[in-house]
C-alpha cells in the first residue's frame, strides 16, 4: 500500500490506516492497521462480497475521526456497471465501528455472502518499524457472538473483540453474513471493534475475557463542536481566512491525546502514524504556539510532563533529577525494557522549553 492510497482516521492515539477500500492488509514493516497505545490491534480487515474483493469508487474524509468508502464488487475497470453497491462508514474512538450498507440496484432479488476477514499480530510500533518478531502467544476464540483475538506475554496482555449488530456466522478468521436483497432493497449492519488497553481494570481471573473492553466513542462530532465553540471567533470579510482558521482548529483537535493519568484532559501529540503519544518537545512547542487560542493544552502538558519529571540518575532512560521527558510509550517492548521509553528522557531542550511554557502559561492565564 502506497502512502497516496492510504486513508487515515484517528482519535487520540487510537488510529486506523487502511487502503482506499477500507481494507487492512498489514505487513511486518507496514504501519497499516488499527493501533492504540502503541500496539496494532488489527492487522487484517478485508471485506468481500461473494468471494470478490471490492473496487473503490470514491472516499470521503468526513472528519479526522470518520471516513466513508463508496465501493462496488469486482475488479476495477474504466467503467463499472455493478448491480450492487457497498458503503462503509467508519468512525474511530477507543476502538472503531464500520457501518456497512449494501444496496441492490437490480430489478431482481439477489443472495449475497458478505465476509469480513479479521486478524491481529499485536505488533508493537517499534516492532513494525524494525521488523522484529513477537515473543508471546496468540489465542482466538468465539464466545457470546463475539470473535476475540488475544495475545499475552507474561504480564502483558491485549485483546481485540469483534461483534456485529446483525446475525452472522463467526469463526476464528472472521464473520460471514448470508443476506437476501429484494429488488432495489438494502441491508445494513454495524461492525464493532473493541479493545483492551493499558489502565483498564482487570479482574483477578487470568483469562483475557476478564478484560473490560473499551467501546468506540459515541459522539465525536459533538466533542469537536465543543472544541470549536470554545476557541476565539474570527470575523473578517475574506472567507478563505475564516476557512483556514477553522481548518487549523480542526487539525489541532486531531492531535489531541489524553494520557491515562490526565483524567480526560488532552495534550498535543506529535503526529500519525509513529508519534501519536506524549513527546516533551512537540507537546510543549504546540501548546506554546496555541496559547492565544486555547490554554487547556498547555495546562495538561505542564501537569503531565511535571508528573513524570526525572527523579534519579538512570543511564538506560537518560534520566536525571529534574529532567523533562522526551518520549513516552505504552507498548510491549517498553513494558519489558527492550526500549527505554517508560519514559525516555534523551532530549537536550525539553527541560528549558518546559520552563518557558510554564512562564508563558502564567502570563496568559494568571493561573499561579
Phi-psi region of 202 (alpha: psi -120 to 50; beta: other; left: phi over 0): beta
| pLDDT recorded at residue 3 | 54
pTM comes to 0.88
**218-256 pLDDT per residue, tens:** 578 888 899 999 999 999 999 999 999 999 999 999 998
Distance CA 106, CA 55 (A): 19
φ, ψ dihedrals at 187, nearest 5°? -145, 145
User: Is pLDDT at 182 greater than 90 in this prediction?
Assistant: yes
Beta-sheet pairing, 110-119 with 44-49 = antiparallel
Lowest average pLDDT, out of 243-252, 270-279, 298-307, goes to 270-279
Distance CA 182, CA 180 (A): 7
User: Is pLDDT at 170 greater than 70 in this prediction?
Assistant: yes
Decide: 130 and 123 in contact? Cβ < 8 Å.
Answer: no
Distance CA 229, CA 217 (A): 20
Mean residue pLDDT of the chain comes to 89
Dihedral Cα 341, 344, 350, 355, nearest 10 deg: 100
Nearest to 16 by CA among 71, 117, 97: 97
Q: Which residue has the higher pLDDT, 110 or 218?
A: 110
User: Is pLDDT at 133 greater than 90 in this prediction?
Assistant: no
Dihedral Cα 352, 362, 260, 124, nearest 10 deg: -30
| pLDDT recorded at residue 258 | 86
Distances (CA, A) of 137 to 35, 108, 134, 154: 19, 49, 8, 9
Nearest to 45 by CA among 22, 78, 29: 22
Distance CA 342, CA 26 (A): 27
* 197 band by pLDDT with thresholds 50, 70 and 90: low
Distance CA 257, CA 263 (A): 12
Q: Which residue has the higher pLDDT, 17 or 223?
A: 17
* 75 band by pLDDT with thresholds 50, 70 and 90: low
| pLDDT recorded at residue 271 | 81
**Strands annotated E in 261-312:** 267-268
Decide: 323 and 346 in contact? Cβ < 8 Å.
Answer: no
> Domain extents for the chain?
3-210, 255-365
Q: What is the chain's length?
A: 368
3-state secondary structure 201-247: CECCCCCHHHECCECCCCCHHHHHHHHHHHCCCCCCCCHHHHHHHHH
Percent of the chain predicted with pLDDT > 70: 91
Decide: 67 and 84 in contact? Cβ < 8 Å.
Answer: no
**77-90 pLDDT per residue, tens:** 555 678 999 999 99
C-alpha grid cell for residue 15? Answer: 488510529
Lowest average pLDDT, out of 31-35, 170-174, 210-214, goes to 210-214
Beta-sheet pairing, 66-73 with 44-49 = unpaired
3-state secondary structure 152-164: EECCEEEEEEEEE
How crowded is residue 184: how many other Cβ atoms within 10 Å of its Cβ?
10
Q: Which 3 state secondary structure label does DSSP give 115? A: strand
Distance CA 116, CA 173 (A): 8
Pick the CATH number of 3-210 from 2.70.98.40, 3.20.20.150, 1.10.510.10, 3.40.50.1980: 2.70.98.40
* 188 band by pLDDT with thresholds 50, 70 and 90: very high
Amino acid at each position: 500500500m502506497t502512502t497516496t492510497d492510504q486513508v487515515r482516521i484517528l482519535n487520540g492515539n487510537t488510529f486506523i490506516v487502511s487502503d482506499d477500500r477500507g481494507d487492512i492488509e498489514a505487513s511486518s514493516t507496514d504501519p497499516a492497521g488499527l493501533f492504540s497505545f502503541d500496539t496494532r490491534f488489527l492487522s487484517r480487515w478485508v471485506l468481500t462480497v461473494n468471494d470478490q474483493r471490492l473496487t473503490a469508487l470514491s472516499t470521503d474524509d468526513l472528519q479526522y475521526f470518520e471516513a466513508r468508502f463508496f465501493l462496488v464488487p469486482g475488479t476495477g475497470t474504466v467503467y463499472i456497471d455493478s448491480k450492487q453497491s457497498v458503503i462503509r462508514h467508519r468512525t474511530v474512538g477507543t476502538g472503531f465501528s464500520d457501518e456497512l450498507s449494501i444496496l441492490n440496484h437490480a430489478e431482481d432479488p439477489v443472495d449475497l455472502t458478505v465476509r469480513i476477514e479479521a486478524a491481529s499480530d499485536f505488533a508493537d510500533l517499534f516492532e513494525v518499524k524494525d521488523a522484529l518478531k513477537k515473543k508471546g502467544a496468540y489465542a482466538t476464540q468465539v464466545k457470546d457472538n463475539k470473535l476475540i483475538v488475544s495475545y499475552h506475554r507474561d504480564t502483558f496482555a491485549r485483546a481485540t473483540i469483534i461483534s456485529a449488530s446483525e446475525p452472522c456466522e463467526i469463526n476464528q478468521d472472521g464473520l460471514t453474513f448470508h443476506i437476501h436483497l429484494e429488488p432495489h432493497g438494502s441491508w445494513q449492519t454495524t461492525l464493532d471493534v473493541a479493545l483492551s488497553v493499558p489502565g483498564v481494570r482487570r479482574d483477578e481471573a487470568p483469562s483475557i475475557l476478564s478484560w473490560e473492553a473499551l467501546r468506540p466513542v459515541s459522539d465525536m462530532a459533538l466533542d469537536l463542536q465543543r472544541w470549536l465553540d470554545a476557541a476565539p471567533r474570527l470575523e473578517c470579510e475574506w472567507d478563505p481566512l475564516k476557512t483556514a482558521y477553522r481548518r487549523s482548529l480542526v487539525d489541532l483537535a486531531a492531535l489531541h491525546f489524553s494520557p491515562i493519568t490526565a483524567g480526560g484532559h488532552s495534550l498535543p501529540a506529535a503526529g500519525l502514524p509513529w508519534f501519536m503519544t506524549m513527546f516533551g518537545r512537540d507537546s510543549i512547542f504546540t501548546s506554546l504556539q496555541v496559547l492565544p487560542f486555547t490554554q487547556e493544552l498547555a495546562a495538561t502538558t505542564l501537569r503531565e510532563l511535571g508528573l513524570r519529571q526525572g527523579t534519579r540518575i538512570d543511564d538506560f532512560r537518560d534520566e536525571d533529577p529534574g529532567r523533562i521527558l522526551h518520549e513516552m510509550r505504552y507498548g510491549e517492548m517498553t513494558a519489558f525494557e527492550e526500549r527505554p521509553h517508560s519514559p525516555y528522557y534523551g532530549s537536550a531542550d525539553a527541560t528549558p522549553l518546559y520552563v518557558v511554557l510554564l512562564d508563558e502559561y502564567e502570563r496568559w492565564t494568571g493561573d499561579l
